[in-house]
Structure 1
Amino acid sequence: MKLGIISDIHGNRVALAAVLADMPPVDGLASAGDVVGYNPWHADCVDAMRGHPEALPDDVPWPTEEVPTVMGNHDRAVASETPFAFNGMAQAGVEHATEQLSDEQIEWLAGLPDERRVCDDRVKLVHGHPDDPDHYTFPEEFGPDLLGDEDVLVMGHTHQQHHEVYDDGIVMNPGSVGQPRDRNHRAAYAVLDLDARSVEEHRVAYDTSAVIDAVGDAGLPREIGFRLTQGR
């Protein structure tokens, strides 16, 4: 069984569309959270994860069923106004998402769990860390001690793509779809092969200039768009 793993879309519909178009055939998708924030297409990205592509461009293979997703810190901030130590760009994105999203979309975000298991409980999804959803678990912290009884632990939050295969299982971060921070500007995702116990990391280029223009048109801080060209 192959599973497409994504995370940290952060309202970047252009990057998400590029990822979905580039992704090889998989049996399903799963997301490690932060659907909203930063970039201006929060509603479109929420609808994509809800499996409601009716209002989205029809030249993209959008999900037609809800994608198993966990709650990221930006999702939580929008859904429940939970305080978090956001910088100016992040706070602007949260405020923009709160204004743009419908009550139904915010309700969907509010219903996301901190942890979710898929594929007969073989894969556990969290956003930051199994014990702390807001902890940034960077690649140097990866280790088999992070695993419980699952075969694969999927984390997001750091926006840094990495995976390790251990005797006890796999620890992975697919990287960020909408705002990579590993000095590679291309949108990141991964394909998990449960049968082969392997992970393929993927990167795909997309039109960052279109995002920069949309960020400016939305009145968001211009740096949100410009940083996409540098993967930071």
Structure 2
Amino acid sequence: MLIAVLSDIHANLMAFQAVLADIDAYDVRAIYSLGDNVGYGPEPDKVIKLLQQRAIPSVLGNHELGLLSADQRSWFNSHARQALARTRELLSEESMRHISHMPLAMVKYGCRMVHGFPPESALTYLFVMEDTDLAASFRRMREHICFVGHTHELALVSWDGRTVEHSELEEHTQFAPTRRYIANIGSVGQPRDGDNRAKYVLYDTVRREMTLRKVAYDIKTTAESIVEKGLPRQYADRLW
């Protein structure tokens, strides 16, 4: 059975719509979001409404936490706080209620899904974790694979019960039944992996195979809209 997992849409409606159009070309049973659906981008309310329309469950990202908690907002730099304040102005109360009901983590089809790091951190970046920390996390993790986002980059970490291995996230991954994995699946709305296309993955839950998809979209219009909506220009420039 095929599922789609995506992350870090960041209110980039055009990228999100392009990804959904790509997903619709496959026989996908369900779609899941790893959070940071909002922040940085120009269309947070439309993105949340589209998540609802497509019945796409999502965990909380750090940007959703920042909207819900003043304490969490202190974690952001000044530009990100400015973007978050403008994001709140652009969100309806209905969308805020929807965000408030998102969990920190979920397990679907034997896969753990969390924004930052297992078991349920929305704030921890995968790349800051030492191998000893990763091994300890793998020991506690009951699931065969954990999907994460947050870094906007692509990476794969695996563990065979003794050794932690790091590798790039390739276009196709066959998961070995004797290993556990954390897959950092990149970003739909603000990639930072050197390729400006929107990223998401397809995962075959029976064959344990993952395919990385890269989808082009209208960056120019999105970048212009970021500036027009009063968000920091750097988040428009980053799209390129």
Shared fold, TM over 0.5: yes
Partner SS, residue 125 of structure 1: strand
Change beyond 3 A, Cα 1:3–1:97: same
Q: How many residues align?
A: 214
Correspondence for 2:59 among 67, 70, 74:
70
**Structure 1: how far apart are the matches of 2:130 and 2:104?**
20
Residue 103 (1) aligns with residue 93 (2): yes
**Structure 2: how far apart are the matches of 1:146 and 1:68?**
24
Amino acid at match of 2:45: A
Residue 127 (1) aligns with residue 115 (2): yes
Deviates more, 1:89-98 or 1:133-142: 133-142
Q: Is the 8 A contact 1:89 1:224 kept in 2?
A: no
- CA RMSD of superposed structures (Å): 1.9
Change beyond 3 A, Cα 1:109–1:220: same
Aligned to 2:213: 202
Unaligned runs of 5+ in 2: 158-174
**Structure 1: how far apart are the matches of 2:2 and 2:130?**
26
**Structure 2: how far apart are the matches of 1:163 and 1:19?**
21
**Structure 2: how far apart are the matches of 1:198 and 1:179?**
25
Correspondence for 1:170 among 175, 181, 206:
181
Aligned to 2:11: 11
Using the size of structure 2 for normalisation, the TM-score is 0.83
Q: Which has the higher strand share?
A: 2
**Structure 2: how far apart are the matches of 1:203 and 1:129?**
23
Structure 1 residues 165-210: Cα deviation after superposition (integer angstroms, max 9, x where no partner): 4523332122100001111111110101111111111111111100
Partner SS, residue 138 of structure 1: helix
Amino acid at match of 1:79: L
Aligned to 1:45: 47
**Structure 2: how far apart are the matches of 1:14 and 1:75?**
20
Q: Is the 8 A contact 1:80 1:110 kept in 2?
A: no
Residue 227 (1) aligns with residue 231 (2): no
Identity %: 33
**Structure 2: how far apart are the matches of 1:93 and 1:68?**
24
Query: Deviation of residue 112 (structure 1)?
Result: 0.9
**Structure 2: how far apart are the matches of 1:145 and 1:174?**
21
Q: Is the 8 A contact 1:139 1:162 kept in 2?
A: no
Residue 161 (1) aligns with residue 163 (2): no
Query: Deviation of residue 145 (structure 1)?
Result: 5.1
Change beyond 3 A, Cα 1:110–1:194: same
Aligned to 2:32: 30
**Structure 1: how far apart are the matches of 2:130 and 2:156?**
11
**Structure with bigger gyration radius:** 2
Unaligned runs of 5+ in 1: 52-62
**Structure 1: how far apart are the matches of 2:135 and 2:196?**
29
**Structure 1: how far apart are the matches of 2:4 and 2:64?**
21
Change beyond 3 A, Cα 1:31–1:144: farther
Residue 215 (1) aligns with residue 226 (2): yes
Query: Deviation of residue 156 (structure 1)?
Result: 0.9
